Amino acid sequence: MSRIFCLAIPLLLAAGCGGSAPTEPAPAVAPAVDEALVDRAVAIGKAIKADPTHVDAVLSANQISRADFEALLFKISEDPALAALYVKKRAP
């Protein structure tokens, strides 16, 4: 459980840190397929936050393993546009 949230922290930091200016602008809108991945990660993350004592049940209900959920978060964190979209959609 804590490992999953530890993965979300770098994602949030990566999206929120100012760093140097990008060499090319990020696309304004993520492709639909990638946005669907973000939507899935956000939904699962919110469900886990709502019931942190039943992480495995939440993951099972969403038909995803811990490893696959972690991989999904890593994929999102590697893309600045997806990371920003994740942060925006994950906000309360």
Listed in sequence order, the residues at least 6 apart from 40 whose beta carbon sits closer than 8 Å to its beta carbon are: 62, 72
Range of the domain at 59: 2-90
Q: Please choose, from the candidates 63, 47, 61, the residue with its C-alpha nearest in 3D space to the C-alpha of residue 4.
A: 47
Rounded distance between C-alpha atoms, residue 45 and residue 52, angstroms: 10
Q: Judge whether residue 74 has pLDDT over 80.
A: yes
Q: Judge whether residue 13 has pLDDT over 70.
A: no
Percentage, residues of the chain above pLDDT 90: 60
pLDDT digits (tens, 9 = 90+) for 38-61: 999 999 999 999 999 999 999 999
Rounded distance between C-alpha atoms, residue 86 and residue 75, angstroms: 11
Q: How many domains does the chain have?
A: 1
pTM, to two decimals:
0.68
